[in-house]
């Protein structure tokens, strides 16, 4: 994989962990998620005005992705209500690359090669290890259920957007249209769930939402661009290195416990990264 693409996706992974931490640290996961989605839409609006909508062939994929993203955000909100970020985030993100790789290789005909598959499996194993607390019986079933449902949506929108951006031939226009749609649908979702109280609850958090939205938009724009020059499965897997950044945020900022198993997990993730890099 090209060094620029590799480094860009890793940087995007760090941004992805940042806005997820904002959701978990927010007073209310629903309010914070809606604020971030609306913040991303606000940032996207001038981009759409400047670049216009993506090519007609890509627009059905944008609509499909917006619908799937609604399921993603809804699942993420409920998962964070029930479990710690250091548990939920790795499960939600760690199982998605295997699903995405399976779909992209069987449906889209992408090829990863032996080293690529081994690297992807090492990375996924390390990501999943980061969610362990030392006692599997203590895993919150509700949080795990929503995290796994979220993983399915991650797989779905990764494949949809990989196809969509290739049809568009313009990553910035595709991404801006997608996040503009996400902001509208998430605002409607929040109003249905919370009613007018949503606006009152979010009045003092708009700056956090705008900052988180900028991180969200920038992170996914890089990933979507990378899908135009690299296999979807590899880009999706590299994005999940965000769990390393997420684990650091969880321990340092959110004061969640760090255990030796997570050190071993980090070693596996780095080994996977090396193999993906030389793939």
Per-residue pLDDT tens over the stretch 22-52: 555 555 778 878 888 888 999 999 999 999 9
Query: Average pLDDT in the 203-208 region?
Result: 65
pLDDT confidence of residue 254: 61
Residues 6+ apart with CB under 8 A from 114: none
Cα separation values, 32 from 21, 22, 23, 27, 135, Å: 10, 7, 5, 8, 30
**What is the pTM assigned to this prediction?**
0.79
Domain count, the chain: 1
Top-confidence residue, 179 or 231: 179
pLDDT confidence of residue 49: 95
Confidence of residue 137 (pLDDT cuts 50, 70, 90): very low
Domain that holds residue 92: 3-278
Cα separation values, 77 from 7, 11, 71, 84, 186, Å: 29, 24, 10, 12, 12
């Amino acid at each position: 994989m090209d060094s620029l693409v590799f480094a860009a996706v890793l940087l995007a992974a760090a941004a992805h962990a940042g806005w997820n931490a904002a959701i978990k640290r927010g007073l209310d996961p629903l309010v914070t998620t809606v604020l971030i989605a609306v913040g991303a839409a606000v940032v996207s609006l001038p981009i759409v005005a400047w670049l216009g909508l993506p090519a007609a062939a890509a627009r059905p994929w944008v609509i499909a992705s917006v619908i799937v993203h609604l399921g993603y955000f809804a699942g993420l909100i409920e998962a964070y209500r029930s479990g710690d970020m250091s548990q939920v985030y790795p499960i939600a993100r760690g199982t998605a690359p295997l699903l995405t790789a399976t779909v992209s290789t069987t449906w889209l005909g992408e090829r990863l090669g032996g080293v690529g598959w081994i690297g992807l499996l090492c990375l996924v194993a390390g990501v999943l290890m980061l969610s362990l607390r030392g006692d599997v019986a203590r895993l919150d079933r509700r949080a795990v259920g929503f995290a796994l449902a979220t993983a399915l949506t991650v797989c779905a929108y990764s494949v949809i957007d990989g196809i969509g951006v290739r049809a568009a031939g313009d990553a910035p226009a595709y991404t801006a249209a997608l996040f503009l749609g996400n902001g509208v649908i998430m605002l409607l979702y929040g109003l249905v769930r919370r009613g007018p109280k949503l606006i009152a609850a979010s009045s003092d958090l708009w700056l956090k939402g705008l900052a988180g939205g900028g991180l969200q938009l920038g992170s996914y724009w890089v990933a979507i661009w990378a899908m135009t020059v690299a296999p979807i499965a590899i880009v999706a897997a590299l994005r999940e290195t965000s769990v390393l950044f997420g684990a650091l945020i969880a321990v340092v900022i959110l004061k969640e416990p760090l255990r030796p198993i997570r050190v071993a997990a980090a070693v596996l993730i780095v080994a996977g990264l090396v193999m993906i890099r030389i793939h």
